[in-house]
Chain A
């Protein structure tokens, strides 16, 4: 049983077809990269799968359940956690509280209005583990808006990871990072993925990063899938080379 299956997923903005009948199947344990030039529809595909945007057509299934049209909070409760291309944090709250609120979202006691020490305690433990995993422990008590851009990107990933998602969707985790920051982030991500407990769909424009991390690559071009293959095969594909005008290197 595939973990995620998109069938003919489509999203239009007026006349523009940002995501054009995308078929994609992600198996449990897989690290899937979605690549493509700017404006190819990668973020829109993420938004349609996670319910941030409504699909114009087609369906998305998660563990054989149709999740098309579910509001974002219900999609998360099924076990899909994501990050955004533009960092989305709680700027004035500490790094730990950012992650803790995220972890708490998957707890049945999240509605507790009086007391709730147990819920707070458990989510704090989960938050500290996620911070540790993203090498952010020393920033736990620092407000998120004081962190460097690179650490903010990692913090948002820690928030997603703290939910112990069945599927983790990362939209350009190295966006806007310097070369050193990218190297550090990739090392940390690779470390995180090597534990083998996560299934990941990853949007990434940096080909080096993609080839280091992904098991399989989906290439989008003008909303359509033009390749869906292993990294080696994708590297050799003529069509992909052309879409990127001049190739990868």
Chain B
């Protein structure tokens, strides 16, 4: 019941927000939703599979630059470009996933970081193509197909981002609840046991890394045309850390939590950085507070009262003996 109420509230809010919020605020909200999507994609790895990626920004940067380059060179309709950008990014992610999943734990984290740094370096190396430190500017938002052009306005873009976020959320939710998704939870809990049960765990990890890159690149592919530019900052390693913190503060192991974490932090940053330059300090403090006091995150706190704690059935040493007729 309660989640239905929540859903209706969110739906109404989504319809109303673009019309009541000031133009500037709407920009922030759109960027926050995009970052929420990005954070959610990382949680497929962190929360669902316990694969700590320190280089998830690579997915974001890849999506952003791919869509920017496609738009600048081919001027295809925006939705088509976004789909293509995700497809290309996913293809590039495939060998990366293959290499990274040959390792575990810290090595995995370091390898993902290394690939993100490689992306960062390549932006500078191929600056004729990528614009180097100047980035790519003047990215258009071509209309079509079928004469669609609503996303050329800011309000229209808001709805497109919302649609992508909701669609990704529903896809990811189906994914984590599918047979495949339950294998991920096995890997998270005990990878050696999962393999000993007959699962090729490396193959499962490879697929989820590719999918996390796919959804992460969608966020990037939405960002560049909205901002109108792509800069090397979109590959900057610090963002990998920031988004990891958003996942944990929002509530890892859930899909909504990271979305909330991403949106919450981006809005907070935007509000606070206007009044104080202590923002990084506040960001860090909030993170520490959550890790120490509420490791289940924002979403965990919000849903705690709906969860029934598990209880061990009581009885004799053997439950059957208590109910056996004498």
Q: CA separation between A123 and B183, bound complex, in Å? A: 13
Interface positions, chain A 68-116, Cβ under 8 Å from B, are 71-73, 76-77, 81-82, 84, 88-94, 97, 100-102, 104-107, 109-116
Residue in B closest to A102 when the chains form the complex, CB atoms? B197
Q: Are B312 and A72 in contact (CB under 8 A)?
A: no
Among A82, A106, A142, the residue within 8 A (CB) of B313 is A142
Among B198, B200, B313, B317, the residue within 8 A (CB) of A163 is B198
Residues of B within 8 A of A141 (CB): 310
Check A52 for interface membership: any CB of B closer than 8 A.
yes
Q: Are B178 and A115 in contact (CB under 8 A)?
A: yes
Check B227 for interface membership: any CB of A closer than 8 A.
no
Residues of B within 8 A of A159 (CB): 197
Q: Are B178 and A93 in contact (CB under 8 A)?
A: no
Q: CA separation between A142 and B315, bound complex, in Å? A: 15
**B-contact bits for A35-59, CB 8 A (1 contact / 0 none):** 0000000000000001010000000
Q: Are B174 and A84 in contact (CB under 8 A)?
A: no
Q: CA separation between A131 and B86, bound complex, in Å? A: 44
Residues of A within 8 A of B200 (CB): 71, 73
Q: Are A115 and B174 in contact (CB under 8 A)?
A: yes
Among B179, B198, B311, B319, the residue within 8 A (CB) of A116 is B179
Q: Are A112 and B179 in contact (CB under 8 A)?
A: yes
Known: A89-B190, A90-B193, A91-B190. A143 touches B180 (CB 8 A): no
Q: How far is the CB of B117 from chain A (nearest CB, A)?
A: 31
Chain B interface category by residue count = 20 to 34
Q: How far is the CB of B106 from chain A (nearest CB, A)?
A: 22
Residues of A within 8 A of B285 (CB): none
Known: A101-B183, A104-B182, A143-B310. A88 touches B199 (CB 8 A): no
Q: Are A116 and B180 in contact (CB under 8 A)?
A: yes
Check A195 for interface membership: any CB of B closer than 8 A.
no
Q: Are B198 and A111 in contact (CB under 8 A)?
A: no
Q: Are A90 and B312 in contact (CB under 8 A)?
A: no
Q: Are A76 and B198 in contact (CB under 8 A)?
A: yes
Residues of B within 8 A of A76 (CB): 196-198
Residues of A within 8 A of B196 (CB): 50, 52, 72-73, 76, 82, 84, 88
Check A139 for interface membership: any CB of B closer than 8 A.
yes
Check B268 for interface membership: any CB of A closer than 8 A.
no
Q: How far is the CB of B297 from chain A (nearest CB, A)?
A: 16
Check A212 for interface membership: any CB of B closer than 8 A.
no
Residues of B within 8 A of A72 (CB): 195-196
Known: A90-B185, A135-B318. A114 touches B175 (CB 8 A): yes
Q: How far is the CB of A247 from chain B (nearest CB, A)?
A: 31
Q: CA separation between A91 and B188, bound complex, in Å? A: 10
Q: CA separation between A104 and B198, bound complex, in Å? A: 9
Residues of B within 8 A of A189 (CB): none
Q: Are A101 and B186 in contact (CB under 8 A)?
A: yes
> Interface of A with B (CB < 8 Å)?
50, 52, 71-73, 76-77, 81-82, 84, 88-94, 97, 100-102, 104-107, 109-116, 119-120, 123, 135, 138-139, 141-143, 146-147, 159, 163, 180-181, 184
